Each structure stands twice: as C-alpha cells, then as structure tokens.
Amino acid sequence: MPRTVWLLVGARAINRLGAFSLPFLTVLISTEFGASATTAGALSAAFGLATIPSRLAGGRLAVRLGRRRTMVLGLTGCALAQLGIAAAGSLAAVALFAVLLGLAFELYEPPSQGMIADAVGSADRVRAYGLMNTALAIGGTGAGLIAAGLGRWDLRWLFVVDALTCLVCALVLHLVLPADHLRPKAPLAPGGRRDGASPWRDRALCAMFGAGTVFALVTMQIMIALPLSLDRRGLQPADAGLLFTASALTVVAAQPALHLRRLAVLPDSVALALGYVLMALGLAGYAVAHTLPAFTAATVLWSLGDVPLLGRALGVVAELAPPGAADRYLAAYGVSWGVATVAAPVTSTQALEHAGVAALWTATAALCLALAAAQLVIVEPLIRRTRPPRAVRPAHPPEAGGRISRT
C-alpha cells in the first residue's frame, strides 16, 4: 500500500481508540438528565440529521478547501463539540452540542476515502478499504475496554477521551500528510454538465445508496440499542463496551480469511449478500440472549458478516465514480449513514419501548435477510449495466520482493 494509505490508516486507528462515546449518548441523556427514551432518541436523531449536510459538505470542501484541511477541520470540530457535551449542565446544552457534533462528524470521511481511492488502483481498492476497516477494528478493541471502564465511573469522561483522540488524530494528519494542492475542476461533459457533478443521476449509485442506508441503519441500531438491551436483560449497559471489543477482535482475526481464493474471487454482490446473511444470524442471537456469554457469541457471528461489507461497498462506489469525482460519489453514498443516524435512535428506542428486546432484534435480522436478497436481485443488475467487467483479482496479490500481503 502507498505511504498515504498507511498514514490515513494509522491516524484513523488513533481516532477510533476513543470513538466509543456515540453509543452512550442516549444512555447519558437518560441517566444524567432523567429524559425519557423518546426524548433521548429524538436528540440522538437530531445529531444524525446534522450529519447529512456534514457528509455532503465534506465532499465539497475536499475540492474547494483541500482534503487535509477538511479532515483537520472536521476532527477539531468533533473534539470541541464532545468537550461541550461533557461539560453541559442542562439537556438543552447537550442538544446544542450534539447538533454541532453532527455538523462536524462526517467532514472527515469523503476526503479520506477519496484520497485512498486516488492513491491505489481499482484492483487494490477493496484491499485498501479493508485495511482501513482493520485499523478501525484494532482501535475498537481498546475503545471497547476503555468504554467499559470509564462508563462504570462517569459517562461524561467517554466524551472527554474521545475529544482528545480527535485532537491527536488531527495533529497527526496535519503533520504527516502532504500539503493540499487544490485540484482543477472536472472537465465539462457533453451537454455542458461537469463530469461527476451529479452522482444522484447514476442509477447504480442510487441502488448502492439504498442498500447502504439499510446496512447503516442496522449498524447504528446495534450501537444505540445494544447498551439499552443489556440494561433490559438485567446486565450492565457499560458491558456493551466489552461486546464492541469482541466485535473488533473478530474483525481483526478474520482478515486473513479475505485472502482465501474462494472468498477473494467472489463477485462483489455475492460477497455482500453473504455478509448480510451472517449479520442476520448473529442479530437473531441477540433476540434470545439473556447472559453476557450469549450476547458475546451473537456479537462474534454478526461481526464475521461485517468483515466483507465495508471494503467491498466502498470499492464498488469508487469504481462507479468518473475520474475526479470520487469525493462526491463517496460523499453521496455516505449520506446513507446520516439517514440511518437520524432513524436508528427513533426506531430502536420505540421498538424497545413498545415491542421489547426480542422483537427489535428479530426484525433487524429479517431486515438483513431482505437486504441480501435485494443486493442480488435489484442492485447487482444495475451495477452490471453501469460498470464494465473487471478482471478477477488474485487471491494473494504479491508485494515487492515476492512477499505476500497479510492486509
């Protein structure tokens, strides 16, 4: 992998080490300020709503301001907002800083993903994004343990430590990444429209966006509803940190499996559908779990499904983008996380309140099975019409000196 990819991966791992506060935002609102589950869900949804313009702004600022500046700006803004949440003395103050956090939260993603897309060839993009996913998982192993410890002491400290890692990550990126050189505007396509200026006109991207939104909804429901589910099953909500650590360790341990030839040569949509099915099986386990070991086993299972998903999906989106439009395509696709972050606090808290733990996770598992079917029947035909056939990647791409990559 090029040096730029490794720098982004290292900085992201540092940031991920402290990125454990979001799953506990609803818990903080409920326990520290006595808010109802409905109010806590609404405030978390306000945070998610703010991430939608944040993601789109990240794609535009990457072009106009520069990728490095945009990433540093986003991380610094996240740190200041999280410190505000930690110091807030009223529910109104928490709501204000939660919205400000959302406005800064997604600025980082489009420029970092676009930088990776430009740094490697199309055949290596899945590996590069998979490497980023591994770094997030490695950072997540420590993040879950810190969350489990600090969460038992004072939930506010979760936001303080998260803010500090954002600042460290911003400093590292500012010092090690090359200075920004603003890129020229994309050339005009026939008809006077700039190539890549309107990714929403790409039907294949819209299909990936729909599937990505459902996947993001499932992921956000896990983050938000898992601590609350543990509490309703008579366990410590902070034990969700241990489960998130188990998930991260599973993702790291499973990375070598991605280089097995039978998995490496799978078409993208088949690999994505397989991941969704494994997630469904694990989430169904949450519906019947009543002990921490049972929750852990279910976590390991759905985490195995998560392994092939992120790298494959981002790789497909990057390949759909015309030259020079990767930032905007990835930003448009990433809006799915903003939509899910709005919906998940409401859907998860309402489902827990009115239907219970078992019904929430059963419905979420069914959603994953539906997503697997849609990927093969609806999304894949649209991708095939838009994207030219791609040569099969070797299962073990050789590196310099003949050594085999383990990432």
pLDDT, tens digit (0-9, with 9 covering 90-100), for 11-40:
777 766 655 666 677 777 777 777 777 787
What is the per-residue pLDDT for 359?
93
For 249-273, the pLDDT digits (tens) are: 888 888 777 677 777 778 888 989 9
- Domains of the chain by start residue, with CATH: 3-178+200-388 (1.20.1250.20)
List the structure tokens of 2: 């090029």
More confident residue, 389 or 150: 150
Mean pLDDT of the chain: 80
Distance CA 29, CA 120 (A): 43
Distance CA 342, CA 45 (A): 4
Distance CA 38, CA 191 (A): 49
C-alpha distances in angstroms, 275 versus 210, 256, 318?
A: 17, 16, 20
| Cβ within 8 Å of residue 255, ≥6 positions away | 130, 134, 307, 406, 407
Cα four-point dihedral sign 381, 387, 391, 395: negative
Residue 6 three-state SS: helix
What is the per-residue pLDDT for 185?
54
For 79-126, the pLDDT digits (tens) are: 999 899 888 888 889 889 989 998 998 888 888 888 887 888 766 777
Q: Which of 115, 142, 163 is nearest to 9 (CA)?
A: 115
Chain centroid to Cα 46, Å, comes to 18
Distance CA 182, CA 167 (A): 24
Q: Inform me whether the pLDDT recorded for 294 exceeds 90.
A: yes
Q: Which of 146-155, 263-272, 359-368 has the highest mean pLDDT?
A: 359-368
For 326-336, the pLDDT digits (tens) are: 778 888 888 88
Q: Which of 40, 23, 49 is nearest to 106 (CA)?
A: 49
What is the per-residue pLDDT for 263?
74
Q: How confident is the model at residue 150 (pLDDT cuts 50, 70, 90)?
A: low
What is the per-residue pLDDT for 262?
75
Instruction: Judge residue 170's burial from the number of C-beta atoms within 10 Å of its C-beta, 0-12 exposed, 13-18 middle, 19 or more buried.
Output: buried
Q: Inform me whether the pLDDT recorded for 220 exceeds 80.
A: yes
Q: Inform me whether the pLDDT recorded for 218 exceeds 80.
A: yes
- pTM for the predicted model, two decimal places: 0.72
What is the per-residue pLDDT for 403?
28
